[in-house]
């Protein structure tokens, strides 16, 4: 199948919708905390389901990108290291750190039971908006990258911005059950102060733009090092966005 700029653009813009079935599986795993599974155990299982469902491609992209960025000053050497397929020490450390942070954040969110599971699922969906932003128009593919050639530079700014706004609205909707719980479902002596409820909603609203900004920052550094954006950088952007989203959502309440 030949990937045209139109099909590439459509795929990137619909990436949050395409990941919905996988996000639902993550939510179902998260719901096991309601039957007594410890939150950290459920978090590990959720990450396993997420990695299996994505065939580990984004994690592999993160490891390869970090290895390439750490290769030093020579562009050709950096690209060669990325293409080897193995994981170097810097990539391994990046994977460990990112997965530890994600597991800790998910476990914290799952402390709110089914409400937290919904937030985790929404974060998975929202993280895919990073792919569209990383492949925005004006960017060029890294030398020798087939995925980069097919996808990079196909998404207009307006399209990427609309996707970010859509997933931001989804995140706000996902935290509303927690916000209502904080507010005591309408009041009461145990209700949290109104500013805490407002903070939860505000953090959820800005989480997606901040996460996408982090992914774009990684992309820009990769462009300076590799001379363009490749498939590994797209996957790394998704993982970075997911990590930032989860961390921000843990401080929302």
User: Could you write out the DSSP letters of every residue in 27-39?
Assistant: HHHHGGGGGT--H
108, 39 contact by CB (below 8 A)? yes
| 8 Å CB contact between 237 and 134 | yes
Could you identify the residue written with the tokens 């193995």? 86
CA 167, CA 109: separation in Å to the nearest integer?
18
> Shortest CA distance to 67 belongs to which of 174, 9, 59?
59
Taking the CA atoms of 144, 136, 66 and 120 in sequence, report the sign of the dihedral they define. Answer: negative
Query: In degrees rounded to 5, what are phi and psi of residue 228?
Result: 165, -175
Q: Is the pLDDT of residue 82 over 70?
A: no
**Average pLDDT score over residue span 223-250:** 92
**For the chain, what are the domain ranges?**
5-252
Q: Which residue bears the tokens 């590990």? A: 44
Quickly state the pLDDT bin for 64 (edges 50, 70, 90).
confident
Indicate the pLDDT class of residue 188, thresholds 50, 70 and 90.
very low
Taken in order 97, 92, 224, 134, is the CA torsion positive or negative?
negative
What confidence score (pLDDT) does residue 89 get? 79
C-beta neighbour count of 220 within 10 angstroms: 13
pLDDT bucket at 177, cuts 50 / 70 / 90: confident
Higher pLDDT, 176 or 235: 235
Examine the pLDDT at 2 and tell me if it is beyond 90: no
The more confident residue out of 181 and 173 is 173
- At 189, the pLDDT band (50, 70, 90 cuts) reads very low
Confidence of residue 106 (pLDDT cuts 50, 70, 90): very high
Give one word for 187, left, alpha or beta, with left for phi > 0 and alpha for psi -120 to 50. Answer: left
Reading the block at residue 114, the tokens are 């089914």
Q: Is the pLDDT of residue 65 over 60?
A: yes
**Residue bearing the bigger pLDDT, 45 or 197:** 45
pLDDT for 8 equals 87
Question: Among the listed ranges 76-90, 120-134, 164-178, 206-220, which one has the minimum average pLDDT value?
Answer: 76-90
Q: Is the pLDDT of residue 179 over 80?
A: no
pLDDT at 222: 87
pLDDT at 86: 65
Residue 117 has pLDDT above 90, yes or no: yes
Q: How do residues 120-151 score in pLDDT, each as one tens digit?
A: 999 999 999 999 999 988 888 888 778 878 88
């Amino acid at each position: 199948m030949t990937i045209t700029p139109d099909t590439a653009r459509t795929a990137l813009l619909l990436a949050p919708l395409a990941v919905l079935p996988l996000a639902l599986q993550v939510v179902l795993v998260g719901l096991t905390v309601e039957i007594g599974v410890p939150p950290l155990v459920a978090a590990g299982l959720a990450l396993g389901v997420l990695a299996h469902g994505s065939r580990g491609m984004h994690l592999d992209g993160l490891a390869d990108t970090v290895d390439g960025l750490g290769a030093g000053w020579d562009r050709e050497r950096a690209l060669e290291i990325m293409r080897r397929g193995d994981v170097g020490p810097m990539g391994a450390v990046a994977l460990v750190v990112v997965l530890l942070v994600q597991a800790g954040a998910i476990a914290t969110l799952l402390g709110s039971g089914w409400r937290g599971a919904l937030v985790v699922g929404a974060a998975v969906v929202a993280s895919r908006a990073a792919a569209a932003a990383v492949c925005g128009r004006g960017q060029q593919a890294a030398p020798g990258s087939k995925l980069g050639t097919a996808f990079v530079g196909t998404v207009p700014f307006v399209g990427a911005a609309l996707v970010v706004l859509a997933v931001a609205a989804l995140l706000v909707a996902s935290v509303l059950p927690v916000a209502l719980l904080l507010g005591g479902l309408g009041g009461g002596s145990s209700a949290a102060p109104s500013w805490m409820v407002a903070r939860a909603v505000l953090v959820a609203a800005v989480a997606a733009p901040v996460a996408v900004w982090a992914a774009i920052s990684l992309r820009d550094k990769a462009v300076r090092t590799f001379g363009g954006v490749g498939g590994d950088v797209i996957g790394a952007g998704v993982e970075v966005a997911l990590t930032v989203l989860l961390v921000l959502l843990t401080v929302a309440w």
